[in-house]
Amino acid sequence: MKTHIAPGPPNNSGFTLVEMAIVLAVIGLILGAVMIGKDVQRNAEYTKIKQKFIDQWAVAYNAYYQRMGVPIGDSQTEPQLMVNGQVYIDDNNNDPSGGDMADASVDELCDADSDGLRDYMLRAGIEMPPGRAEGAEDRYVYLDTNGNPQEIQVCFKWNPPETVSGSGNVMVIKGLTPDLARYLDQAVDGKADALEGAFREADVTANNSTGTPGSEWGSNNTYDVDDASATATGAGETLDEDQVAIMTAHYKMNQ
């Protein structure tokens, strides 16, 4: 006598639509968390750049002035009250003893010079930010939005009167991606305006004839580092493997 076993329910190994929807929702949440995490990490890095590098160089500059009585690179015996003031040059007649101050041209004081920024700081006993490494305190390395390395460099210079990016002694900050430049501008001045405040774009142009206030920074993160056609509102063609466009800012010093 044969025994007949009733067939059980079919063995379905696939996912139901509900299960698939749940899996996709979880994947979406994970991807969203990763993207948010990257933004949070980048903002934290930008805050570190401002507080541990840019602000500390401003502190070092002020400490030099307080200790030496003149801006960095200026002569103590014949002070010009200008960064690198002892190499004051008049563009009209190259006579250091006179001329139109508005036509003066004073070189940037950078660490790459033979008697550079670091040498002045060490002679004055000023502690510098750690920067990239010992001997490269004027530089800082970070990752741009494409994950490629970028290097900030700090110099100081004196801008003649009526310089649109800020007259007087300024910190020259090179190697800023557009988003980092705007972040620092917002942090320093309360708004990302390339033309106004203490933090400005180096090659910013003056207000137009209509009197429109302010100006946008002249590039954005869609452009790569070699694209000379960058604009604030344009759309570049940067690839994931490209370095993002970089800009230079002038940060006006108190002294």
Q: Where are the alpha helices (DSSP H) in the chain?
A: 17-49, 55-68, 117-124, 178-189
Instruction: Give tens-digit pLDDT for 97-156.
Output: 444 544 445 688 997 666 799 999 999 999 999 999 999 999 999 999 999 999 999 999
pLDDT digits (tens, 9 = 90+) for 19-51: 777 777 777 666 665 555 567 788 899 999 999
Instruction: Tell me what the pLDDT averaged over the chain comes to.
Output: 84
Q: What is the pLDDT of residues 152-167, one digit of tens each?
A: 999 999 999 989 999 9
User: How does pLDDT run across 50-79, given as a tens digit for each residue?
Assistant: 999 999 999 999 999 999 999 999 998 889
Per-residue DSSP letter, 161 = T
> How many CB atoms sit inside 10 A of residue 171's CB?
21
Per-residue exposure over 49-58, b if at least 16 CB sit within 10 Å of its own CB, e if not: beeebbebbb
Of the candidates 183, 172, 178, which has an alpha carbon nearest to the alpha carbon of residue 224?
A: 178
Which of these, 148, 85, 72, 162, lies nearest to 117 by C-alpha position? Answer: 72
Residue type, 150: Q
From first CA to last CA, the distance across the chain in angstroms is 108
Residue 157's H or E segment, with its range, is strand 149-159
pTM above 0.95, yes or no: no
Structure tokens at 40: 């949070």
User: Is the model's pLDDT at 96 over the cut of 50?
Assistant: no
C-alpha 166/C-alpha 127 separation (Å) is: 27
